[in-house]
Amino acid sequence: MLFVKRIIGALLEPFSLAFVLAGVGAVALLRGRRGAATYLFVCAAVLAYVASLPIVGNALLAPLEQRYAAFDDDDPAPPVDFIVVLGSSYQPRDDAPVTAELDREALVRIVEGIRLRAKLPDATLIVSGGAPRGSFPTAHGYAALARQLGIEDDAIVVIDTPLDTTAEARAVVARIGSAPFVLVTSAYHMPRAMRRMQQAGAQAIPGPTGHLAPQEASFEWLDLVPTSRGIDKTDRALHEYLGLLALRLGID
């Protein structure tokens, strides 16, 4: 089921859809249907262009990221005994430190978890994230960095089997039951993560991090120039909206 979800998600990405439209247009052109081919090529180009605009990615991300407030330095620490950091991606290598082995999402998440743990020195840091066969669980990279940054080994719990947010929520509940905890994940992912945690019976307090959209909307002419950063933001936002739709439809 997880594999199927990933395939569907990949096919629904804007560039993938644009490629499919262009492919169908090429077939139409070969069959002599020039009008249909032109229409499909134009649709593919417009979709790829719009999805690559930073202003579009920011507009899609902002409602997700603004739903929950982050913990400021001056905010009082919540009365919890656990901090849970959700997984992302980890690729260990011999010629780099662990900070280079974690992807951007993972690095931001675990650093925020460690920052919050400094506010809650008695809390247990639960690091989560499995990996498909042949890859490396993100939780192992999290634990390695936490140890290097001074977190005691007995204050770290590793959950290295879940492959998605649903499985992570269930694993957390299996470990700590209904005890409240701070949940750390990317700000755009937090709404879906909170819904999954609630469904599993977890008592999560949101601790979003890694915000990508500007705090205040603004416009510059450069926002009309397509960029790889723009398509990345659009892809991330659409993935979350599709995940929220699946939640509403009762799809795991």
Model pLDDT for residues 72-94, shown as the tens digit of each residue: 888 888 889 999 999 999 999 88
pLDDT in tens, 94-116: 889 999 999 999 999 999 999 99
**pLDDT band per the 50, 70, 90 thresholds, residue 134:** confident
**pLDDT band per the 50, 70, 90 thresholds, residue 219:** confident
**pLDDT band per the 50, 70, 90 thresholds, residue 34:** confident
What's residue 126's pLDDT?
98
What's residue 166's pLDDT?
93
Region 219-247: mean pLDDT is 89
Hey, where are the domains in the chain? Answer: 2-64+227-248, 71-209
d(CA 241, CA 192): 9
What's residue 1's pLDDT?
52
Inform me whether the pLDDT recorded for 218 exceeds 80: no
Region 183-212: mean pLDDT is 96
- Token pair in block for residue 24: 């169908």
Inform me whether the pLDDT recorded for 56 exceeds 90: yes
Over pLDDT 90: what percentage of the chain? 73
Stronger pLDDT, 206 or 33, i.e. the higher one: 206
Report the greatest alpha carbon distance in the chain. Answer: 71
What's residue 7's pLDDT?
61
Cβ atoms within 10 Å, residue 1: 8
Q: What are phi and psi of 180, to 5 degrees?
A: -70, 150
What's residue 137's pLDDT?
95
pLDDT in tens, 5-25: 556 656 568 888 888 889 999
Domain at 71-209: CATH code = 3.40.50.620
d(CA 99, CA 107): 7
Region 43-51: mean pLDDT is 92
Region 143-152: mean pLDDT is 96
Inform me whether the pLDDT recorded for 2 exceeds 60: no
What's residue 14's pLDDT?
83
Give the predicted TM-score (pTM) of the model: 0.88
Query: What one-character-per-residue DSSP string does 124-178 give?
Result: EEEEE----TTS--HHHHHHHHHHHTT--GGGEEEE----SHHHHHHHHHHHHTT
pLDDT in tens, 164-174: 999 999 999 99
